Amino acid sequence: MSMIEQLSGPAKALLNPSIETWRQQGKKVLAYYCPYVPEEMIVAAGMMPFAMRATGSASSEEGDIYAHSATCSFIRHILDHAMNGAYNFLDGFISIDCCDPFRRMFDVWRRKRVPVPEKPLFLQILSIPKKVTGEEVLPRLINEFAGLKDNMEQYFGLKITDEDLRRAIKTCNETRRLLKEIYALRKRPDPPLTGGQALEIVIAAASLPKEECNNLLKELLAELGNAPGRKDYQARLMVIGSNLDNPDYLAVMEELGGLVVADYFCNGTMYFWEPVDETLPPLEALARRVLKSPSCPRMIGDFPRRLELIHEMVKDYLVDGVIVQRLMFCDIWGSEATLLRWEARKAGLPLLVLEREYALSGVGQLKTRVQAFMETIGR
C-alpha cells in the first residue's frame, strides 16, 4: 500500500484505527473547528486534536430539527452526527465564533449535552477578533488563549506549562513544514499528486496523533520524490472558498481534465501555511500566528492581504483558472466571492463561482458547469 493510500483512510472515515488505539491507551481526543484554534494547546495537554467534520453523514434529518433550513448544511450535518452518537469518541469540542449559525450550533451542543448526557464534554467557543490590526487585538487574543488554557487545566485536572506548549509548537510546526513541502511539489509542471489526494493528506494530518502524522508525512515526501508526475490534464485549477473536507468534490473536477494544484480554504492552505514563532513566549506566539495566517473572510478589512496571497499562489502554482466554491447560505464566502469575481475580471483570470451542499450532490450539474469553464480557459 502506498503512503497516499495509507493516508486516504483516515480522511475518508470519521473514526480511524489510530484514534481507537489512542483511546484504548486512556488518552483523550478534543475536536476543534477552524485553523484559528491553537492545536498546540490540545497537544500540550497530552491530548489528540481532531478537526471537526461530518464525514459519512448521509442525511441532516436530525440536525434539521435544531437548525433553520437557511443554515449551511455543514452545521446541520454536524448536528445530525452529534445527535446520532457519531462523536462519542470525543472528550471535548473547541470552536471560534466564526459566524452566527455556528454559534447557535454550539449552543445546541451545550443545551443537549451531546454526544451523550452521561459524559459531559469540555466545550469552549473562543472569541477571535474580526480584524488583524490594532493595538488591542494581540492582547485580547493572548487573553483568550490564556482563558482556554486555564479552563482546560481546571476541567481535566492537569497543568499545561510553557515548556509543554513549546514542545507542542515544535511538533505542530513540523506538521506544517511537511505539508508545505508536499504542497510545493504541486508547483511542478507535472505534479506527483492530484488535488483530491492533497486534500486527503491534509485531512488525515488533522485526524491523527501528531507524532504519527509527522512520521507518515516524512515517508510520503520520500515516496513522492520518486513518483512519476502527472501530465494528463487540460488546465491547472485553484479552488477557493468554504470549508471543504470531501476530496470527491475535487475528484469530479479532475475527472474532466482539470488538475487542482492550489487551494485557499480551511482544510487546506489556511490550516498549515503560517508556522508559530518558536522564539516568542508561547501564548504570544500562538496569538501572533492567528494574525499572520491566511485570513478567513470573517476578518474585516483584510481582503487585500488575502488577494495578494491568492495572486502569489496563482503565479507560483501556474494556475490557469480559479473556482470559488461556497456552501449554500454561507454569507461570509458569498460576499468574498463577489469581490473575487471583480478582481479576477481586472486581472483577466478565468473564475467560476459554484454553490454546493455539504454532502456531494448534483454531480451532473457540477460536471456541466466545470466542463464549460474548462472550455472557456481554452486549453
Provide CATH 3.40.50.11890 ranges for the chain.
Answer: 3-163
Handedness of CA 198, 203, 204, 210 (dihedral sign): positive
pTM of the model: 0.95
pLDDT of residue 36: 94
Going through the chain in order, the beta strands assigned E by DSSP cover 29-32, 48-51, 92-96, 122-126, 235-241, 258-264, 321-327, 351-356
- CATH topology for 165-377 is Rossmann fold (3.40.50)
SS3 118: coil
pLDDT of residue 111: 78
pLDDT of residue 117: 57
Around Cβ 79, how many Cβ atoms within 10 Å? 26
- Grid cell 507524532 in the structure block, residue: 211
What is the DSSP annotation of 213-247? HHHHHHHHHHHHHTSPPP---SEEEEEEES----H
Q: CA torsion, points 89, 143, 202, 341, in degrees to nearest 10?
A: 120
Provide CATH 3.40.50.11900 ranges for the chain.
Answer: 165-377
Note down pLDDT in tens along the chain; length 379 residues: 688 888 888 999 999 999 999 999 999 999 999 999 999 999 999 999 999 999 998 888 888 888 888 888 999 999 999 888 899 999 999 999 888 888 888 888 887 766 555 667 899 999 999 988 877 899 999 999 999 999 999 999 999 999 999 999 999 999 999 999 999 999 999 999 999 999 999 999 999 999 999 999 999 999 998 888 888 899 999 999 989 999 999 999 999 999 999 999 999 999 999 999 999 999 999 999 999 999 999 998 999 999 999 999 999 999 999 999 999 988 888 899 999 999 999 999 999 999 999 888 888 999 999 999 999 887 6
Reported as half-sphere exposure (CB side, CA atoms, 13 A), residue 156 has a value of 24
- CATH topology for 3-163 is Rossmann fold (3.40.50)
Backbone angles phi, psi at 347, to 5 degrees: -85, -5
| Cell numbers standing for residue 147 | 482563558
Nearest of 5, 2, 378 to residue 223 by alpha carbon:
2
SS3 171: helix
pLDDT of residue 168: 98
pLDDT of residue 282: 98
Please, are residues 62 and 169 in contact by the beta-carbon 8 Å criterion?
no
